[in-house]
């Protein structure tokens, strides 16, 4: 048994990683801000100690893991170095786990968390499986047959991983504070797939991902288009589920039914189906597992009040916003779709200002919340008023005091963003429930 201290334990990835280490029988503790984060609930269920930041938390005998939000100047990290303790970054520690067990890494600009949830759901019902999902969900097994993890491209963190298998859902320019352009993004993903040992499952419909050529791993492609190894056909969507056929090398593999509604989610599910099939899991077992699928935290999380539906979603990129609005329209045909969006980071908002406007305008009405800045950002280079100017008829919601602006009925209210808009969403649920 080892002892681990996690700096920034409430981070979505760090929380998941701490849960895995605890489940595997190790002693785990961590530090973070006192502010409540939804990710700490699963830590509390395991009685994992959480402290406020302080050098007194760093003790002899512990390995120390540094969260991605921090650098080596953090006081606790410096103390660990002074004591000569073994230290890891988040990516290094996850890379260590992935190297010890047959592993699957799920990456892509969009859909990582949802796809990791789908893959984990299939494998955990058919193999002893540990998994890390980017919504703060982690599960560890002492004698795992597979380790599944969401792999983030930001700052090229995923280059710390050398998995047996990988899924690449798409490549789309994002994180403009780090990547120069889509070519820089592509280069990062190409470097990643070059490190995969066995097979890379790639969305063949995606303009950039389809161009990836791993150095040694086999390539399997999936999607709606002709020529994919696993092709999706005959999609039927109701308010309860979607039904679709998957053809493998032009022969029917199976007909699948899932509680997903957007075409992007059906595509993501097919990547999980393909990976499971490659690893010898039967079609019947795959169907049974997908039938039990539940969305990840903050991924189209629905709350129904009367004839209204309130949705909390993590969408924070123009492509994701468009896909989320499309899902709402497909599932709730006939209801008005109201988009309430909180941009995440000044750099992303400034870079994609017009693209955000274009995506948001696919909703019936648009409301904007003040931008949620990253702790890394030192300068406010754009304001929410700038996005309002280029988004037709958009109005601003500053707080719950503006809920009167959202006085609609028989509607789908989409609260979208990667910041803290989920808190506003929960206040709106309380408001509508009165």
Q: How far is CA 223 from CA 52, 93, 125, 152, 261, in A?
A: 46, 33, 25, 22, 16
Q: Is residue 145 a contact partner of residue 29, using CB atoms and an 8 Å limit? A: no
Instruction: Count how many Cα atoms sit within 13 Å of the Cα of residue 41 in the half-sphere of its side chain.
Output: 7
Token pair of 16 as six digits: 């998941």
**How many other C-beta atoms are found inside a 10 Å radius of the C-beta of residue 354?**
12
User: Annotation-wise, does 215 bind a ligand?
Assistant: no
Distance CA 315, CA 422 (A): 11
Q: Which residues contact 183 (CB under 8 A, 6 or more apart)?
A: none
| Number of Cβ atoms within 10 Å of the Cβ of 100 | 10
How many other CB atoms are there within 10 angstroms of residue 249's CB atom?
9
The reply to whether 112 sits in an annotated binding site is yes
Q: Binding residue per annotation — 114?
A: yes
Q: Is 303 annotated as a binding residue?
A: no
The answer to whether 198 and 217 have CB atoms below 8 angstroms apart is yes
Q: How far apart are CA 5 and CA 155, in angstroms?
A: 23
Whether the Cβ atoms of residue 8 and residue 128 lie closer than 8 Å to each other? no
Q: Is 109 annotated as a binding residue?
A: yes
- Extract the annotated binding site for ATP: 108-114
Binding residues: 108-114
């Amino acid at each position: 048994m080892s002892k681990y201290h996690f700096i920034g334990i409430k981070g979505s990835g760090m929380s998941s990683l701490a849960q895995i280490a605890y489940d595997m029988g190790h002693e785990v503790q961590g530090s973070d801000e006192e502010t409540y984060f939804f990710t700490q609930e699963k830590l509390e269920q395991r009685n994992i100690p959480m402290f406020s930041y302080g050098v007194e938390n760093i003790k002899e005998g512990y390995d120390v893991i540094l969260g991605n939000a921090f650098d080596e100047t953090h006081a606790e990290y410096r103390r660990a170095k002074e004591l000569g303790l073994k230290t890891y970054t988040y990516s290094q520690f996850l890379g260590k786990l992935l190297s010890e067990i047959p592993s699957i890494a799920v990456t892509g600009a969009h859909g990582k968390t949802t796809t990791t949830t789908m893959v984990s759901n299939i494998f955990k019902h058919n193999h002893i499986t540990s998994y890390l999902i980017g919504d703060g969900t982690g599960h560890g097994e002492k004698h795992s047959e597979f380790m599944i993890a969401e792999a983030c491209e930001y700052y090229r963190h995923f280059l710390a991983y050398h998995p047996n298998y990988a899924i690449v859902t798409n490549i789309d320019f994002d994180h403009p504070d780090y990547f120069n352009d889509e070519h820089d993004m592509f280069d990062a993903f190409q470097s990643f797939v070059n490190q995969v040992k066995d097979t890379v499952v790639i969305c063949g419909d995606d303009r950039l991902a389809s161009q990836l050529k791993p150095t040694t791993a086999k390539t399997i492609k999936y999607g709606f288009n002709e020529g994919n190894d696993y092709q999706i056909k005959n999609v039927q969507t109701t308010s309860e589920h979607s039904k679709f056929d998957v053809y493998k090398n032009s022969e029917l593999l199976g007909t699948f039914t899932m509680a997903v509604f957007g075409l992007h989610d059906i595509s993501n599910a097919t990547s999980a189906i393909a990976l499971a099939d490659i690893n010898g899991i039967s079609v019947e077992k795959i169907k049974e597992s997908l039938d039990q699928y539940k969305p990840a935290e903050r991924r189209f999380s629905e709350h129904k009040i009367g004839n209204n539906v309130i949705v909390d979603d993590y969408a924070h990129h123009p492509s994701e916003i468009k896909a989320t609005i499309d899902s709402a329209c497909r599932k709730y045909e006939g209801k008005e779709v109201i988009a309430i969006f909180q941009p995440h980071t000044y750099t992303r908002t400034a870079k994609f200002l017009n693209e955000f406007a274009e995506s948001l305008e696919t909703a019936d009405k648009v409301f904007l919340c003040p931008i949620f800045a990253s702790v890394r950002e030192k300068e406010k280079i754009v304001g929410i008023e700038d996005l309002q100017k280029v988004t037709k008829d958009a109005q601003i919601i500053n707080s719950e005091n503006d809920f009167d602006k959202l006085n609609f009925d028989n509607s789908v209210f989409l609260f979208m963003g990667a910041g803290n808009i989920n808190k506003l969403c929960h206040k709106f649920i309380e408001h509508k429930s009165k």
